[in-house]
Chain A
Amino acid sequence: SQKIEQNSEALNIQEGKTATLTCNYTNYSPAYLQWYRQDPGRGPVFLLLIRENEKEKRKERLKVTFDTTLKQSLFHITASQPADSATYLCAVNDYKLSFGAGTTVTVRA
């Protein structure tokens, strides 16, 4: 099954800046890749899905890219706000949904 690797270190950024998170997978390119947000003590919340034939997807201040050559997805939070502070999970769908360990983002006011 896929091995999913995300930024291992937490990301601390100033309000208003752009946070960029990385997700790398090891095997064949999945049909689609997903990003989730998880707050402490809560279940993950679905944010965006991008298909392998899509280069980029946007939703409000969020942007996701998918590079099948690099086997990588980038997740951007533009104009970040303290309310964006959370752990962000990348997930790949083989026959099951496999998650990365997540990157914790803290946005300072």
Chain B
Amino acid sequence: SAVISQKPSRDICQRGTSLTIQCQVDSQVTMMFWYRQQPGQSLTLIATANQGSEATYESGFVIDKFPISRPNLTFSTLTVSNMSPEDSSIYLCSVEEGIGAGGYTFGSGTRLTVV
């Protein structure tokens, strides 16, 4: 299965600043997915990142707040912009292991605390 390297693993940031999270996959994948997991809650899909096109955002998430880059088939970044304490969460990237076959592989997550 794919191996995903995600960094940073954690960060503490000042409100009003931005943080960019990186995910590197050891194989080429068409789509990469970005999730948020707020404290004590489940995972919520933020957006789907396709190489060569704009990311597709879920309801409640906008590009100005969460810009995504997908420069090639193995790499993606998610930026959390103009942060507030409400953005404190774990952010995870993910790829699908074969359509309908092997589940999804997740990065280890980025624990973001905004103060």
- A→B interface (CB under 8 Å): 31-32, 34, 36, 41-47, 49, 51, 89, 91, 93, 96-102
Contacts and interface: CB of A to CB of B under 8 A. Distances in A.
Nearest to B4: A43
Contacts of A102: 42
B41 A96 contact: no
B43 A89 contact: yes
A44 B93 CA distance: 11
Interface of B: 1, 6, 33, 41-45, 48, 58, 92, 94, 97, 100-109, 111
Contacts of A100: 42
Contacts of A31: 100
A44 B92 CA distance: 9
Secondary structure at the A interface, as helix, strand, loop or mixed, is strand
A46 B102 contact: yes
Which of B41, B42, B104 has most A Cβ within 10 Å?
B42
A49 B106 contact: no
B23 to A, nearest CB: 11
A93 B100 CA distance: 9
Given A42-B109, A45-B106, A97-B45, A32 B100 contact: yes
B47 to A, nearest CB: 10
B109 A43 contact: yes
Contacts of B102: 46, 49
A23 B102 CA distance: 20
